[in-house]
Amino acid sequence: MESPPLPPACTKQGHQKPLDSKDENPEKHCPLTVNPWHMKKAFKVMNELRSQNLLCDVTIVAEDMEIPAHRVVLAACSPYFHAMFTGEMSESRAKRVRIKEVDGWTLRMLIDYVYTAEIQVTEENVQVLLPAAGLLQLQDVKKTCCEFLESQLHPVNCLGIRAFADMHACTDLLNKANTYAAGMMGMHWHTQLLTSLVLGISSKDTLPELICSQCCAFHDSQGWNQLGYPSTEQHFADVVLSEEFLNLGIEQVCSLISSDKLTISSEEKVFEAVIAWVNHDKDVRQEFMARLMEHVRLPLLPREYLVQRVEEEALVKNSSACKDYLIEAMKYHLLPTEQRMLMKSVRTRLRTPMNLPKLMVVVGGQAPKAIRSVECYDFKEERWHQVAELPSRRCRAGMVYMAGLVFAVGGFNGSLRVRTVDSYDPVKDQWTSVANMRDRRSTLGAAVLNGLLYAVGGFDGSTGLSSVEAYNIKSNEWFHVAPMNTRRSSVGVGVVGGLLYAVGGYDGASRQCLSTVECYNATANEWTYIAEMSTRRSGAGVGVLNNLLYAVGGHDGPLVRKSVEVYDPTTNAWRQVADMNMCRRNAGVCAVNGLLYVVGGDDGSCNLASVEYYNPTTDKWTVVSSCMSTGRSYAGVTVIDKPL
């Protein structure tokens, strides 16, 4: 017998079996039906009855607000009311129940939510709604409030929100605040915040009570230092511009600026933050200068800044202890580089900020002619996207990331070897020209050592180069340093242990690719040969991972290699590791997250768009599933902090 169709509002759950004539209870095989609209309709009717004050058996009172309701509905949705109405408390029988901890309008919103499952969280009500939802144990509302606050996180209010989250046991929100927006250090944020503060407004100015009252209340508690400052550490340059920072207590400021995890472009940010905090209430706070300066790592500041700014600061001049810290910093700068390592103190230790999200930037290259295209790979999202193009075509250039900028150094524009240098600001997505090199160079190596950008070897259009020059970003000037012992074009470079290594290449004179390697000691200003590679490699990709120097692929005449060898400075020896999946020369190499990435290049017949990475733990190469939009060789490759 065929069963009649179910009504549209009902859904079958379970499988229907044919009836057995011998079955004594055939009903147990009938399918279960569920009407998904039943509960919603029932609550809608109960809310209508409540609005007409029908069948209501309790009145909830807060301030001068009286709200009729049904005990069974409140108890069903709120553990708070469930305990109240089913226990032995006097409220279980009372006709009127007063709630003293919640204001009338907030309580009405929450009781409306119990009946309708609808609530609107805004900047104006979130700071009263969240604790009230916590009191009534309406966890869904509390979660919605936390998600709203998470969406409002900003350098100006993150201290207040994280304090508010801790005060009300919002663990997820607290964790989100602690890891919020890693490393947003860009000038566009500085400009926005400075403008906001000057005008007395902010994009988050609708949460003033939350920012101020919660922060101040939390400062007085004992829990602040136990929490740490991950969010603030990563946002330090922005947060110090906010009123929140200026209102912190001395213990909180000391705890923050003493952290090794501060993400800052320079220790100058810390010094200026201290001066701003003291000047905010100078008469009271200037007595704390010595305590604060103990945590400012003055030896890490440039000598010029120490003399021109720190020494001239009146707050420093008026404190003998601060002057002692300044003298310590000046002594540090007078020492030779190798002796500075022996001068160990908290103030000479480099800060080690938390890992920020990374992007791999691939700049220009040959495809098959010189191109302007620049694309980025987002390691987290595992996808490529285009960014601002180079001002002009450029391939065979050196590429580094320094002081928050990407530098494209020299190269070939399709007709000429150039000495021009362009810098890219990831935050502004904009290229700017800086000082030209002294020599034209293509197929050069570029690296950063001791805060200077080095351009090593290359080809000037007629001969291979042994010359080396360095760029000082502060003075925007290039200057020559000691030349290499060998002319090297198509050279790879890397920095390990404070030494600059030049690997392989082509010398032009012998018309042979090179297996020799030499290293540069900046203190002695000299180049020294080290152990040779096992094979000749020109156009090899060179990268540094775990204090080891990798030489990847390259070619020896017409033979394009997929072999890889690694140099250990502690043993002055090279050893082979696993081969790449494909032959590559003139590829870009970078290290990130414990892996060595090789990008593009050519295999001797065509340009490659593929990327693969090496895992030293497994000694295996893996091809990345997402390829570049354009196959390119001779591209510049580097890794940057992701701008947010």
What is the rounded CA–CA span in Å between residue 296 and residue 298?
A: 6
Residue 10 pLDDT > 70: no
pLDDT of residue 233: 58
Mean pLDDT of 153-178: 82
Q: Give the tens place of pLDDT for each residue, 357-412.
A: 899 999 999 999 999 999 999 998 899 999 999 999 999 999 999 988 999 999 99
What is the rounded CA–CA span in Å between residue 266 and residue 273?
A: 12
Among the listed ranges 32-46, 50-64, 120-134, 238-252, which one has the minimum average pLDDT value? Answer: 238-252
CB-neighbour burial class of residue 582 (10 A; exposed 0-12, middle 13-18, buried 19+): middle
Q: Give the tens place of pLDDT for each residue, 526-536.
A: 999 999 999 99
Mean pLDDT of 229-244: 61
* Whether 542 contacts 505, CB under 8 Å: no
**Between 556 and 1, the higher pLDDT residue:** 556
Mean pLDDT of 347-361: 81
pLDDT of residue 188: 33
User: Quick one: pLDDT band at residue 234, thresholds 50, 70, 90?
Assistant: low
User: Quick one: pLDDT band at residue 573, thresholds 50, 70, 90?
Assistant: very high
User: Quick one: pLDDT band at residue 195, thresholds 50, 70, 90?
Assistant: very low
Residue 437 pLDDT > 50: yes
Mean pLDDT of 170-179: 80
Q: Give the tens place of pLDDT for each residue, 267-309.
A: 888 999 999 999 999 999 999 999 999 999 999 888 888 998 9
pLDDT of residue 136: 94
What is the rounded CA–CA span in Å between residue 386 and residue 545?
A: 27
Q: Where are the beta strands (DSSP E) in 497-572?
A: 499-503, 517-521, 526-530, 541-545, 548-552, 555-556, 559-560, 564-568
pLDDT of residue 547: 92
Q: Give the tens place of pLDDT for each residue, 53-99.
A: 999 999 999 999 999 999 999 999 999 999 999 988 888 889 999 99
* Whether 615 contacts 622, CB under 8 Å: yes
pTM tops 0.95 = no
* Whether 453 contacts 473, CB under 8 Å: yes
pLDDT of residue 36: 86
pLDDT of residue 202: 37
What is the number of residues in the chain? 644
Mean pLDDT of 487-493: 97
DSSP three-state, residue 383: strand
Q: Structure tokens of 207?
A: 């949460």
Strand-pairing partners, residue 588, are 599
**Between 236 and 418, the higher pLDDT residue:** 418
Q: Structure tokens of 46?
A: 């109960």
pLDDT of residue 235: 60
| % of the chain at pLDDT higher than 90 | 65
Among the listed ranges 4-8, 187-191, 441-445, 591-595, which one has the minimum average pLDDT value? Answer: 187-191
